[in-house]
Amino acid sequence: MPQMRFCPWCGSQLGKKEIEGKEYAACAAGGCGYVFWDSPLTVVAAIVEHEGSVILARGRGWPEKMFGLVTGFLEKGESPEDAVVREVREELGLTAAVRGLVGIYPFFQKNQLILAYDLVAEGEISLNEELEEIRRVSPDKLRPWPFGTGIAVEDWLKKRQAEG
């Protein structure tokens, strides 16, 4: 992603500023006080159970064998629970209900904070333009992956196993 070169507040050139041992882009003129904090974006992730299977999705343009959870950005004025239900409706065409929060996971590679939820969904799957295909996986055959939303899948599987 291209870096900003000019201050969005006053239009001056951006420079570097060290704050508490970390380097940030900041207004070089210094008068307006702008600092680009580059805070993580909040993402919701859905572990969707539908008709006894977990739904994994392959985003448009992803490699053929790469599947993951349905995810999306939290929008302004929206609760995380409403956001994850909206994402399931938009991407899969399903009506979903949140069963609970699985956990909160930093995803440093993409500068995101993932809020992962357990959902149960009903209806007929209808993919939107963001998804290429889905894969249905029985919970007992689901295997987590070692990054991003895969850590949430691992926690979800452990919780299911503990509940018996």
Q: Residue 93 is which amino acid? A: G
What digits encode the pLDDT tens for the residues 78-89?
A: 999 999 999 999
Q: What percent of the chain has pLDDT over 90?
A: 90
- Report, as an integer, the average pLDDT of 44-63: 97
Q: Residue 95 is which amino acid? A: T
Residue 160 Cα to chain centre, angstroms: 22
Residue found under tokens 């900041």: 26
pTM: 0.88
Residue 46 Cα to chain centre, angstroms: 9
What digits encode the pLDDT tens for the residues 90-133?
A: 999 999 999 999 999 999 999 999 999 999 999 999 999 999 99
